Amino acid sequence: MNSIDIDVGGTFTDLVLNYEGKSLIKKVPTTPYDLSVCFSKVIEEGAASLGLKIEELLPGIDMIRYSTTIALNRLIEKKGPRLGLITTEGHEDVVLIGRGAQWIDGTRVAERRNLAIQKKPDPLIPRDRIVGVKERIDSRGNIIRPLDEDDVRAKVRSLVSKGVRGFVVSLLWGFLNPIHEKRIKEIIRDEYKEFHIGYLPVVLGGQVVGKLGEYERTLAAILDAYLQRSMQIELSAMWDKLRDRGYKKPLLMIQSSGGIAEVFRTAASRTFNSGPVSGLMGAHHVAKSLGYKNVVMTDMGGTSFDVGLVVKDSVRSYDFRPIIDRWMVGITMIKTLSIGAGGGSIAWLNKLLQNQLQVGPKSAGSMPGPACFNLGGTEPTVTDADVVLGYLNPDFYYGGKLRLVKERSIQAIRDKIAKPLGIDVEQGAQIIRKIVNGNMASAIMKEVHLRGYSPEEFILFVGGGAGATHVEGYMADVPKAVTFSFSPVFCAFGSSTMDIMHVYEASKKITLMEPRTQKLAEEFTGFNRAVEMLIEQAKRDLVADGLNPGDAGFVLELDMLYGGQFHVKRTLCPRLSLHGAEDVRAICDAFEKEFSEAFSPFVVNPEGGVFIESFILKAIVPTKKVELPVMRLEGHDPSAARKGERPVYWTEAKGFKTTPIYAYESVRSGNLIEGPAVVEGEYTTLVVPPSMQFSVDARGLGILENRKA
């Protein structure tokens, strides 16, 4: 299958192109002023590498998959439209009151420690644009107060008079019985027609999140409405350019749930964190092919450092109430961790902490970028430190397409860091590198230890353009790091390994095992009907996407818990339908096994009963994937790949030492490079310190480990 996979990051836009049996990677600087520019540019460069024009390439492409940070970027910039919120009368202040943690949701640890300056985030919809309408549906979906349509019309008009240009409708129990939410939308459409110049979009909370949680459901709907227009503009520009140049197949978006859907069937909030999620899915695919059970996936780009775990051959670890910017939402995301630590992360002195040197979370991005880019940036960054210390070759950065100016790096570190601290430039650069490596190592240790595992049980996968340059400093207690020829574009590679997957969720509480008596359920209608409705919805959407529902496989997961306990565990369900006590017992046993592994065998509590909270259905259409080739081993001697030498700073040597430099693309399977050494590729540079060695195995994987190993 011919495919294009693109990941737009804060600094670079990455491409993996599979065409007529050939596979190649490309990177171009991200153009934040218009993402369709870098989107088109990276495809053009991929086509040129095949000797084709983009108009010749695109008609032969079967699928384009796309992951992006558009949603978060636009949210941080606060460039959304003026929205109005319509909710049930008496519940107008729910999103303003929030949960107790709203004070600190989305803040960094350092910010939380200073309680004196903590305050709630400014709401995306202020109180004067929130109205309550006269209606009420109870927890069983029964109408106990009919909708007052005259009240709705009056309040809709009042919101429009206040400048509202879009509506969010989120009523109490609206997901259970959507009749009032849908009628309000009909009323708005009747008042303000779709063909009017002042067309007003309407987002229904029950359609965005079809499960329990009034606060989280409403916020998810608000974010979708807030981001909808800006994402529509960005993606429409990309779509139009693709169509104009001959592409006739769908444009698919990676979702944070691990699913993929056609761009016009994707909610904005579900694209958040899609890049790291696709990287984790790619790590899972590679780990399975290599036989690795536990993997730490890392991706260090220009803006952020992302961490995700493959544990026991599974990535089914979820955030059920994730934080997007400062907002808790009710959508389910695969769990990853992102921190502001990348090549473009800015080093700065915190005057509140007596000029303590800190690195990140702010980034220089791609424009103006680090000082050494010589594009107007004056702040010292991690990349500037790497240039000063000799790890990066100014004449071969980005394959020589972007010449770095070392003097700019020296000036930035000297003026902003070294002089104020009374140290020399090299010391300043070394401390910058040590701090950012420490931040990343701490993030890895946090993820591994908080899930109850030991780093020694894992293998570390290296992704991102800056990952190989810093992995020796952040791999902490993980014994072995693995690099790939596609490491610089690992997230884009990850999406190329993903199947088309739609994810559906619905809240429905069902008792599988009675409290105290532990009697198993004998009535299966509610369970089976809930699954059937989700499957019917999935089949309709697959047909609308131009896919054959017969090609899809269905996987059911259940949010389950024991009676009297708070913790919900998402469990892979061994049955799609229930027909007898054996089926119920199989589900209870699967839940007990996953619950005990996630928490502890000592808190398993069948005496409290076993309950289902929500149903999650995955409709999966498999795609053809590129597998890693097996190559002939060519011996240990890497001398054919050696391209020269230069002074490089090594902590063990306490200074600069003349170091051999190797060409990454020329290192062959079986080669062994002992540190100190630097291995330069077109899009990344691998640093091998004196205490470590780098080898390439039969699959072309680079293995970085201690010499003692």
What long-range pairs does 588-596 form, CB within 8 A, spacing at least 24? Answer: 588/512, 588/513, 588/520, 591/558, 591/560, 594/569, 595/560, 595/562, 595/567, 595/569, 595/571
Q: How far apart are CA 628 and CA 23, in angstroms?
A: 11
Q: What's this model's pTM, rounded to 2 decimal places?
A: 0.88
What is the mean pLDDT for each group of 10 consecutive residues in the chain (709 residues)? 89 91 90 87 94 94 85 71 95 90 77 75 93 95 96 96 94 94 95 77 91 91 88 84 90 86 81 88 92 94 90 82 85 86 92 87 86 94 97 92 94 96 96 96 90 90 95 93 94 90 89 94 94 94 86 94 88 94 95 88 91 93 84 92 95 93 95 95 95 94 87
- Could you give the C-alpha distances from 224 to 232, 236, 262, 646, 661, in angstroms and in order? 11, 17, 16, 52, 49
Computed on alpha carbons and rounded to an integer, the radius of gyration of the chain in Å comes to: 27
Listed in sequence order, the residues at least 6 apart from 634 whose beta carbon sits closer than 8 Å to its beta carbon are 668, 669, 670, 671
Spatial contact of 508 and 526, defined as CB atoms under 8 Å apart: yes
CA atoms within 13 A on the CB side of 348: 14
User: Helix %, strand %, coil % for the chain, to 5?
Assistant: 40, 25, 35
Note the pLDDT of residue 378: 93
> Structural domains in the chain?
75-231 (3.40.50), 274-341+445-495 (3.30.420), 345-435 (no CATH), 500-621 (3.30.1490)
Paired residues of 502 in beta bridges: 619
State the pLDDT at residue 257.
Answer: 84
CA atoms within 13 A on the CB side of 358: 14
122's CB contacts (< 8 A; 6+ apart) are: none
| Torsion sign (Cα): 44, 45, 50, 52 | positive
Question: What are the E-state strand segments in 111-204?
Answer: 130-133, 136-137, 143-145, 167-169, 202-204
Cis peptide before 380 (omega within 30 of 0): no
677 - beta bridge partners?
Answer: 688
Angle at 357 between CA 397 and CA 472, to 5 degrees: 45
What is the C-alpha to C-alpha distance for residues 356 and 383, in angstroms, rounded to an integer?
A: 20
